Structure 1
Amino acid sequence: MDLTTRYMGLQLKNPLVASASPLTGELDSLKRLEDAGAAALILPSLFQEEIEAETARYEHLTSAHDDSWPEGLSNFPKLPETQHGPHQYLELVRRARQAAGVPVIASLNGVSNEGWTTYARQLQQAGAHGLELNIYFIPADLTSTGRDVEQRYLDILRSLRAAVSIPVAIKLSPYFSSVGNMALALQDAGADALVLFNRFYQPDLDLTRLQVLTDLKLSEPSEIRLPLLWLAVLSGRTRASLAASTGVASADEVVKYLLVGADVVMTTSSLLRRGPGHMATLLAGLQEWLDAREFNSLEQVRGIMSQCKLRDPQAFERANYIKILHGYRAPDRS
């Protein structure tokens, strides 16, 4: 069975990728994921504001009494350079690159143009095979236009493309007014891959304490439908690799994503729920599905149910929406 896959220019042994999570932040669990069949590993995001806040706190503590008590600073522990700033993350990249036999992709979340490009260069120098841009931006400024938001993504990507030579993937937001057009614009701006979609974490409310909750909710299989739709629409219409993300719990979701044209399928929530060994279950389930239908390779399957290959392409458009509404039958409650 040939499961080999190309993603953002990298050759992978299969289409299953362990996406960014606490599991990919430790060498032990990285190795367990690889042993279970992960074909690529995406490290947790490096957050620019966290690094700069940490550095600012240390500088504030060490400089607060420069004039009034200079001799006291000799008693203040001077942190080694490797214990603050991006150095710990860069060391994770180096060690993961040395330990893993599969591609290691760094994830970056910046807040300024200088931050994006500076850290991107450092991640490339540390040995990352590729870079995933985690542009987590909520346009809460009511004066921002849709064009402003789109331009922000394009400007970041173009700056990164000028700064590094390794492949670059970008996590796409599902909230653009024209997802397809934005995908093509990102492709033309230099994206080697598009990840559908970046899962923005929305807050909830605690009605007892009247507080905003920021707890993490893992994804569910029911969330597969939105990325499934857009992967089906984009497959065969973009040069960029397509990565499916969100809602993967079993091999069923993996197969569905591949059928509509995903080059790779990423999972985080299922691995956090069931451990790194669940990657082997997903891989075995995919192989069983292919074997049962006598497929010899992924290329016989990938994209055969994308919009451009269906006899009825309107199945992914408005006509199917009308059919769904007309076909609904309320449950019998008599």
Structure 2
Amino acid sequence: MPDLGTTYLGLTLRSPLIASAGPITQSPDGFAALAEADCGAIVMYSLFEEQLRHESAHDLLLEDEYADSFAESLSYFPTMPSTDVGLSDRYLETLRTGIEAANGTPVIASLNGSTIGTWVEFAQQLADAGASALELNIYLVPGDISITGREVEDRHVEILEGVKNAVDIPVAVKLSPYFSSIGEMAKRLVDAGADGLVLFNRFLQPEIDIETLQVQAQVSLSRSIEGRLPRTWIAALHGRLDTSLAATTGVETGDDIVRYLLAGADAVMATSALIRHGAGFARELNQQLTDWLVRKEFDSVAAVRGLLAVPVDADATAYERAGYLAALEKAKETYAPL
């Protein structure tokens, strides 16, 4: 039987398949189901910077409200009703109970933010609660057209450094593909302390309803074809950066996991497939991966990783150009009129 074991963020995983942040990772029952289906690790749903800032502002408002209630007010702080537990407290409690339900499967906490602020200090509470690692999802879409590309990149590095200063557990950064030089950005983040990179985040793209004349916010589940972009960059970065590489987006079948591993991914994350088919589908994905390894006579995931990555000694730019030209030539043959 092939060995599916891998290492991600310094964590030893029984499988390269990771359940990424999503609806299933919002409850201990979901954690238990994913662990039972042999997921290598579980990424908890994201806690957002805006939520933490709003909660902090609410707490300060309550303190101000009660500050002059009594002469002894300097030692008085309002006691929140037990039924009104704060959002951060609920997240921490779900993390603790989820870790217990995961029964040894590593649990990775997730923070989503786009600015520098005291919210990053919450990362230490996640570490104290037992998170094996932290995934930092930097969702930054600058609406101010005067912001330069370098300012956007600097913001990413500053957020990472703030979180790294707050914790002593591994930190992965979930990146978007919208940088002018993804390779250089990836290197900057690794140099700033990123223990891993997750490629790529999916920005929400709203739809326009031409009948109601309204903009509709939508979240669509990914499809297999969307894996081509992250695979391209994982193949280009494999062997060039001293960090873990995780793939996300476009995982529908075990074949998609294989493709990512061949490109050089250390781990492969799935959300959409598990939403479509349930947590137990992780077991089927692992089985499909195992069946492929047996059929191709590979004895482990490690033997496959990076076999089709861009060779480290190759000119990566020329390599990509050659692939681009070859694809165009093939398209001419395929779609040219008879």
TM-score, normalised via structure 2 length: 0.89
Q: Specify the alignment match of 2:273 in structure 1.
A: 270
What is the aligned-residue RMSD (CA, Å)? 2.7
Per-residue Cα deviation, 1:186-212 (whole angstroms, up to 9, x for no partner): 111000000000111111111111111
Residue type matched to 1:255 in 2? V
Q: Distance in 2 between matches of 1:106 and 1:38?
A: 16
Residue type matched to 1:292 in 2? R
Q: Specify the alignment match of 2:75 in structure 1.
A: none
Q: Distance in 2 between matches of 1:17 and 1:266?
A: 5
How far the C-alpha of 1:332 sits from its partner, in A, is 8.0
Aligned with 2:220: secondary structure?
A: coil
Q: Specify the alignment match of 2:90 in structure 1.
A: 88
Q: Specify the alignment match of 1:72 in structure 2.
A: none
* Conserved 8 A contact 1:191-1:240: yes
Over 3 Å counting, the alpha-carbon distance change for 1:251 and 1:309 in structure 2 is farther
Q: Distance in 1 between matches of 2:337 and 2:321?
A: 30
Aligned with 2:100: secondary structure?
A: helix
Matches within 5 A, 1:149-164: 149-164=152-167
Are 2:230 and 1:232 aligned? no
Q: Distance in 2 between matches of 1:279 and 1:310?
A: 36
Per-residue Cα deviation, 1:265-297 (whole angstroms, up to 9, x for no partner): 000001011111110111000000000111111
Q: Distance in 1 between matches of 2:306 and 2:157?
A: 27
Q: Specify the alignment match of 1:184 in structure 2.
A: 187
Q: Distance in 1 between matches of 2:209 and 2:62?
A: 35
Q: Distance in 2 between matches of 1:258 and 1:194?
A: 15
Aligned with 1:300: secondary structure?
A: coil
Over 3 Å counting, the alpha-carbon distance change for 1:3 and 1:241 in structure 2 is same
How far the C-alpha of 1:242 sits from its partner, in A, is 0.2
Are 2:77 and 1:49 aligned? no
Residue type matched to 1:186 in 2? L
How far the C-alpha of 1:325 sits from its partner, in A, is 1.5
Structure 1 window deviating more from structure 2 (305-314 vs 168-177): it is 305-314
Per-residue Cα deviation, 1:86-143 (whole angstroms, up to 9, x for no partner): 1000111111122211110000013543334311111111111100001111011111
Equivalent position to 1:261, from 255, 264, 289:
264
Residue type matched to 2:94 in 1? L
Structure 1 window deviating more from structure 2 (177-186 vs 51-60): it is 51-60
Stretches of structure 1 that go unaligned for 5 or more consecutive residues are 68-75
* Conserved 8 A contact 1:260-1:303: yes
Q: Distance in 1 between matches of 2:336 and 2:197?
A: 43
Residue type matched to 1:12 in 2? L
Q: Distance in 1 between matches of 2:139 and 2:22?
A: 15
How far the C-alpha of 1:79 sits from its partner, in A, is 3.0
Residue type matched to 1:97 in 2? I
Structure 1 window deviating more from structure 2 (103-112 vs 219-228): it is 103-112
Structure 1 window deviating more from structure 2 (106-115 vs 186-195): it is 106-115
Q: Specify the alignment match of 2:73 in structure 1.
A: none
Aligned residues: 326
Q: Specify the alignment match of 2:151 in structure 1.
A: 148
Over 3 Å counting, the alpha-carbon distance change for 1:208 and 1:82 in structure 2 is same
Per-residue Cα deviation, 1:241-285 (whole angstroms, up to 9, x for no partner): 000000000011100000010000000001011111110111000
Over 3 Å counting, the alpha-carbon distance change for 1:215 and 1:58 in structure 2 is farther
Aligned with 2:143: secondary structure?
A: coil
Q: Specify the alignment match of 2:4 in structure 1.
A: 3
Aligned with 1:105: secondary structure?
A: strand
How far the C-alpha of 1:13 sits from its partner, in A, is 0.8
Identical aligned residues as a percent: 46
Q: Distance in 1 between matches of 2:59 and 2:168?
A: 33
Q: Specify the alignment match of 1:291 in structure 2.
A: 294
Matches within 5 A, 1:93-108: 93-100=95-102, 101-108=104-111
Q: Specify the alignment match of 2:132 in structure 1.
A: 129
Matches within 5 A, 1:236-255: 236-255=239-258
Aligned with 2:268: secondary structure?
A: strand
